[in-house]
Amino acid sequence: MPVYYYQARDYEGLVHRGTIEAAAPSQVVELMNAVGLFVTDLRPHKATWKKWAFLRRVSLKDLAVFSRQLAVMVRGHLPLVKALEVLAAQTSNSFLKGVVLDLKNQVEKGKALHEAMDQHPEAFPELFVAMVGAGEEAGLLDDALEILARHYEKEDAVVKKVKTASIYPVVVLAFAVLVVVFLISFVLPRFSRLFSGFGAQLPWPTRFLLACGNFLHHNYLFLTWLLFVAVFGLIAFLKSEEGKNWWDWCVLKLPVLGKIYMQLAVYRFSKILGNLVQAGVPILRALEVAANTVGNRVVASGIMAARANIREGETIAAPLAATGVFPLMVTEMIAVGESTGSLDEMLHQVAAYTEGELTYTLDNLTSLLEPVLILFIAGVVGFVVLSIFLPIVSTWKALGTLR
């Protein structure tokens, strides 16, 4: 849909500005009026931000806040249309604002909320739509939204921990590389010219780093072009189905980080499946949603393979164990949940246990990485500094012999 820039005033005269997606300008006016805003300026938004997915993003935090606020209003017996109207007025995410206004418009015309959400997959994940649908069918929409709020709050916290643990060493190493490149490209050559003027023999560490610096200096255009081609080639490959499968396989095989991402996938699977079963979603549909939202294609393939066997009449635990993807403890706990009729409760216990294991692993990784990275960087930078100071000693000795 086209994107429009709007400027509007509310009943108190306050000015509101933003962008919104709508089929036509008249729909923008209608949507704005529905939330008590009166359009004073409206024009097509010509910026290219719509092409960039990260600017059309609805974060986990946005979903958690949306779910909790809507749950409170539904539980307070506020009409759904009015609740969506209030949410649209309150949200600061302009993309989500347009989506919520469209939800309000469709619900007002008689469409179920989950059906309206299903038309906005870029805003509402499959899990969200399935949970809302189950809540609407059971007449427990507020409970379903409350479960979603807790789920996305927890998911947001866990994902942030994993990202921090993954990005921290990369950032530190990148900084170390930049420092070393700067020293050998700009600082060391100036010292070497000075020392050569005194006739001093340069030590081998200095000569080695000078050779590296000269190589970078004389080939920086080629190296920049090569890096550019490699990065964009990798991005293009990772956008393909084969590339995505390869990346997810590689992630799980990484030392230490592979264990973390497997724990994250198991946590998501057990949490999502537990929530869906608790909401009354049929198990085959719940497994399909879990596979599509677990975040790793290798794990998702295992879930879908197990789902095919479950559809033929097998139990849940045995096919999941046969895939070799899930830890034995997880499948055993699922088997106990099946036999006792408390599958959702057991899945939540698996999620809680896995979250604890994940937190423990992340804390240990962070505490281990910090001294290792410090020692590594100290060693590299120390080698460069030594390469600078060794010629000083050589020059001092050379000057001493001249006396």
With both helix axes pointing from N to C terminus, report the angle between 80-90 and 60-75 in degrees, rounded to the nearest 10: 140
Residue 140 per-residue DSSP state: -
Mean pLDDT of the chain: 85
pLDDT more than 90, % of the chain: 38
Report pLDDT for 401. 57
82-97 confidence digits (pLDDT tens): 999 899 888 888 888 8
106-126 confidence digits (pLDDT tens): 999 899 999 999 999 889 999
**Could you give the 3-state DSSP secondary structure of residue 17?**
strand
CB 23 within 8 A of CB 88: no
Range with the poorest average pLDDT among 59-63, 176-180, 305-309: 176-180
17-70 confidence digits (pLDDT tens): 777 777 778 888 888 887 788 888 888 865 443 444 445 578 999 999 999 999
pTM above 0.75, yes or no: no
CB 114 within 8 A of CB 121: no
- Tokens of residue 244, six digits: 């995505």
Segments making up each domain of the chain, as ranges: 3-53, 56-150, 151-403
Q: Do domains 56-150 and 151-403 have the same CATH topology?
A: yes
Q: Which long-range contacts (CB under 8 A, 24 or more apart) does 269-273 make?
A: 269/294, 269/299, 269/303, 269/326, 270/330, 270/347, 270/348, 270/350, 270/351, 270/354, 271/151, 271/154, 271/155, 271/347, 271/348, 271/351, 272/127, 272/151, 273/347
Report pLDDT for 52. 46
* Bigger pLDDT: 189 vs 400: 189
Check: CATH 3.30.160 for 3-53? no
Report pLDDT for 145. 95
* 198: confidence class by pLDDT, cuts 50, 70, 90: low
CATH entry, 56-150, from 1.10.10.10, 3.40.50.2000, 1.20.81.30, 3.40.50.720? 1.20.81.30
With both helix axes pointing from N to C terminus, report the angle between 343-402 and 141-182 in degrees, rounded to the nearest 10: 10
Range with the poorest average pLDDT among 189-198, 206-215, 247-256, 347-356: 189-198
CATH entry, 151-403, from 3.40.50.1580, 1.20.140.10, 1.20.81.30, 1.10.3720.10? 1.20.81.30
